[in-house]
């Protein structure tokens, strides 16, 4: 299932990210704030377990998430979403996944991962702001599945229709949440209107 989150705060911060005149410090700030809002929206769809708590006055019912979580930021740009999600899921394990897209062929190349042995017990939330061809996110999810993940969610900020179609075909069991569905890819497989190269804008390289 593909869901575009409808939230005024996301629209405002995404506009800051899209603006080519936004300087790096502001870009980072807007992406971190946007990731907090996305985390809040997405976490609110997760199942809760009830458990007893004692207030200073009496016994009552409290709630906590039923699942344990793994955050999997796809390097590098996925790092921009990490802190926002950790704010709401502070107990999550974090597994960075190194995938970069070849500038000529646009194919993803895997270069790093560190995935825990108990991955099969965790709901893996893959963080990657750009879903362009869908190749990088598909590769990250395939890797997590090969290591034993059975429950996965993909978080993107800007998605292209081509990427949503390709990713959904490869991983129909994985829900995708995004802040925007853009128009199309250009000849270099960049998202239009998009926000440019997310990693370069975040890190200045």
Q: What is the contact surface with ligand URA in residues (CB under 6 A)? A: 77, 130, 132, 190-191, 194, 197-199
The listed partner (ligand URA, ligand PRP, none) that binds 89, CB under 5 to 8 Å by sort, is none
Taking CA 28 as the corner, what is the angle to CA 6 and CA 84, rounded to the nearest 5 degrees? 55
Q: Shortest CA distance to 83 belongs to which of 144, 28, 154?
A: 28
Helix %, strand %, coil % of the chain (to 5):
35, 30, 35
Number of Cβ within a 10 Å radius of residue 45: 10
- How far, in Å, CA of 194 to CA of 205, rounded? 19
Q: How far is the CB of 166 from ligand PRP (least distance, A)?
A: 8
Q: Shortest CA distance to 68 belongs to which of 100, 94, 39?
A: 94
The answer to whether 201 contacts ligand PRP (rule: CB under 6 A) is: no
Q: How far is the CB of 87 from ligand URA (least distance, A)?
A: 24
The listed partner (ligand PRP, ligand URA, none) that binds 84, CB under 5 to 8 Å by sort, is none
The answer to whether 130 contacts ligand PRP (rule: CB under 6 A) is: yes
Cα 140 vs. chain centroid, distance in angstroms?
11
The answer to whether 28 contacts ligand PRP (rule: CB under 6 A) is: no
- How far, in Å, CA of 112 to CA of 90, rounded? 23
Q: How far is the CB of 181 from ligand URA (least distance, A)?
A: 13
DSSP H/E element including 85: helix 79-88
User: Which parts of the chain fold into alpha helices (H)?
Assistant: 8-18, 24-43, 79-88, 135-146, 161-170, 198-203
Q: How far is the CB of 109 from ligand PRP (least distance, A)?
A: 8
The listed partner (ligand URA, ligand PRP, none) that binds 108, CB under 5 to 8 Å by sort, is ligand PRP
Q: How far is the CB of 168 from ligand URA (least distance, A)?
A: 18
The listed partner (ligand URA, ligand PRP, none) that binds 74, CB under 5 to 8 Å by sort, is ligand PRP
Number of Cβ within a 10 Å radius of residue 55: 8
Site residues for ligand PRP, 177-196, by CB under 6 A, read 189
Site string for ligand PRP, 38-77 (x = CB under 6 A): ------------------------------------xxxx
- How far, in Å, CA of 182 to CA of 171, rounded? 21
Task: Enumerate binding residues for ligand PRP (CB under 6 A).
Answer: 74-77, 100-101, 106, 108, 128-137, 163, 189, 197-199
């Amino acid at each position: 299932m593909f869901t575009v989150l409808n939230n005024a705060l996301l629209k405002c911060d995404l506009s800051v990210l899209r603006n080519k005149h936004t300087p790096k410090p502001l870009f980072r700030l807007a992406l971190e704030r946007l990731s907090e809002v996305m985390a809040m929206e997405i976490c609110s769809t997760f199942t809760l377990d009830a458990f007893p708590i004692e207030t200073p006055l009496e016994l009552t019912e409290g709630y906590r998430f039923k699942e344990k979580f793994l955050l999997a930021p796809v390097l590098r740009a996925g790092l921009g979403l990490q802190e926002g999600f950790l704010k709401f899921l502070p107990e999550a394990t974090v597994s960075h996944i190194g995938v970069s897209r070849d500038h000529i062929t646009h194919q993803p190349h895997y270069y790093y991962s560190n995935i825990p042995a108990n991955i099969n017990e965790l709901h893996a939330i893959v963080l990657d702001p750009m879903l362009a061809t869908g190749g990088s996110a598909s590769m990250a999810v395939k890797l997590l599945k090969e290591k034993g993940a059975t429950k996965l969610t993909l978080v993107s900020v800007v998605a292209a229709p081509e990427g949503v179609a390709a990713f959904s075909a490869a991983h129909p069991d994985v829900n995708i949440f995004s802040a925007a569905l853009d128009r199309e890819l250009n000849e270099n497989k960049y998202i239009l209107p998009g926000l440019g190269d997310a990693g370069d804008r975040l890190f200045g390289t």
